[in-house]
Amino acid sequence: MKRKKWSEAEERSLLSKYAALVSTGTLSALKTREKRFKPVADHVNHLHHRRDPVAFPFRWSWRDVSIKIQNMRRQYLGVKQKIRLDDHRFDWADGDNHWENFNRYKEVFGDLELQDDDTGRKPGNSSSSSEDGDCGENEGLGGLGFDVTDQDGNDDETHHELGAGSDDGQLGGPGIDFHHQIDKKLRAMSRRILELRCGSLEREDRRRERELDAQKAFLEMRQKRMRMDELREQREQEAEIREMRQEDAEMEWEQQQMRRWVRMDEEAERERRRWRMKAEEKWEEEEMEWRERMVRLQIEHQKSMMQMCSDACRNQLQVLGVVSRLLCHLFASASDGLGAPRPPHIMQNMPPRDFDYNVVKSDANSQPQFL
């Protein structure tokens, strides 16, 4: 994972925004670290990360800003130790060579006093609670540019006056040592008071942060419950919509089925009608054929009956002729000529045998009576 590192431009933006908040009095009105440092982080991100994510790849949070302010304090003390010429003289112009924003930090947060060697701490490596907690903005009377010694009665000016007096020979060495020891004790007491103050402020900030976290958790829980209610209502609405669509689809399907059954019934009715018409036509054709066949049979029967009648009549005539001849032969005497055969002219005057046929033929044209 790439280590996040602040650039010089981002540090300048941080210091400028912090100075603006201090000058307007906004910073002192804010009670928690998040409220104090979040505007600074947003300002830095807006000027650098959002405009050029390639050159400034890191997006800083308010915690990063708080840690950076503490680190800049240690960096300032380290650079000040490097530019230190003697106990009370520093090469301030050389500070920008070691750290570009050295003098800018001094303008915003004020000058910080180096820790002496007899306190057991090294310059730039303070172990007080101001570096571990929220004392980045409480340095020098809340980061307003004043040193601790100014709060305790201008010890720096007294120390400089004593030093100047010793240089002029007005005060002796023991007096200077005595005042120097008092000065160191006052500074130690001031640092201790500031540490206690920072600790109490840090505890108060932590308490407020816990309260805010609890409120945020409650609000998040409430929002989550509201979202769950909204999701449930949305799901219910979607279920109702699906049910309505399903009912519409079922009704549409039933209507389609009804139209299909009606169409099938109509087609079946038309088919039955066609079949009935075809059956009637076929029955009529068969009836006509039967009638024609019966007529033909009737005609043939009439012909056969007439033929039988003609044959019977002819046979009867022949029998009568024969009987008449026999009677004539039996009862006729020889004198009157009854037994003699008939003369030819009498036989010629007799009707021919075709007479019966003609009679039968004429009767065939008459209407039948037996039907």
Q: Enumerate residues 6+ apart whose C-beta is below 8 A from 181.
A: none
Helix axes 33-44, 173-331, angle to 10 degrees: 70
**What average pLDDT is seen over the chain?**
75
Any idea which of 46-50, 106-110, 194-198 has the lowest mean pLDDT? 194-198
Q: What is the pLDDT of residues 26-37, one digit of tens each?
A: 888 888 888 889
CA gyration radius, the chain: 72
* Beta-carbon count within 10 A of 62 CB: 18
pLDDT of residue 116: 55
Q: How much is the average pLDDT of 191-216?
A: 79
Q: What is the pLDDT of residues 264-292, one digit of tens each?
A: 999 999 999 999 999 999 999 999 999 99
pLDDT of residue 177: 64
Q: What is the pLDDT of residues 51-64, one digit of tens each?
A: 888 888 889 999 99
pLDDT of residue 27: 82
Listed in sequence order, the DSSP H helices in the chain are: 8-24, 26-29, 33-44, 62-82, 95-98, 102-109, 129-132, 139-143, 148-151, 155-168, 173-331, 344-349, 354-364
Whether the per-residue pLDDT at 149 is higher than 60: the answer is no
Q: Which two tokens stand for residue 255?
A: 């209507």
Q: What is the pLDDT of residues 304-362, one digit of tens each?
A: 999 999 999 999 999 999 998 888 888 875 445 544 555 554 444 454 444 444 444 44
pLDDT of residue 185: 81
> pTM here?
0.35
Residue 93 DSSP class: G
Q: What is the pLDDT of residues 217-255, one digit of tens each?
A: 888 888 889 999 999 999 999 999 999 999 999 999 999
Whether the per-residue pLDDT at 98 is higher than 80: the answer is yes
